[in-house]
């Protein structure tokens, strides 16, 4: 399962999100039988990388706030 795929919320994954949506539009029944699995894996990987970027920024911000640097 993935979060809502609003393009403005996931700027690093816009291309992958568009590919995922295109696969679902082009293959409305194939998506149920695994046709879009690779697009889904690519989307999951991109969202995971985006999360790691967000998390590291958050950690750095908290370190600065606490004066740990």
Residues 57 and 64 sit within 8 Å (Cβ to Cβ): no
Model confidence, pTM: 0.79
CA end-to-end distance (rounded Å), the chain: 36
In the predicted model, what is the mean pLDDT of the chain? 90
CB atoms near residue 14 (< 10 Å): 13
**pLDDT for 47:** 94
6-38 pLDDT per residue, tens:
888 888 999 999 999 999 999 999 888 999 999
Q: What are the angstrom distances between the C-alpha of 68 and each of 35, 38, 50, 57?
A: 48, 42, 25, 15
**pLDDT for 2:** 75
Dihedral pair phi/psi, residue 18, rounded to 5°: -65, -40
């Amino acid at each position: 399962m993935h979060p809502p795929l609003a393009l403005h919320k996931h700027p690093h994954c816009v291309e992958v999100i568009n590919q995922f949506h295109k696969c679902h539009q082009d293959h409305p029944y194939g998506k149920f039988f695994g046709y879009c699995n690779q697009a889904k894996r690519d989307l999951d990987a991109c969202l995971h990388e985006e999360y790691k970027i967000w998390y590291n920024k958050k950690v750095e911000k908290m370190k600065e706030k606490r004066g740990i640097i």
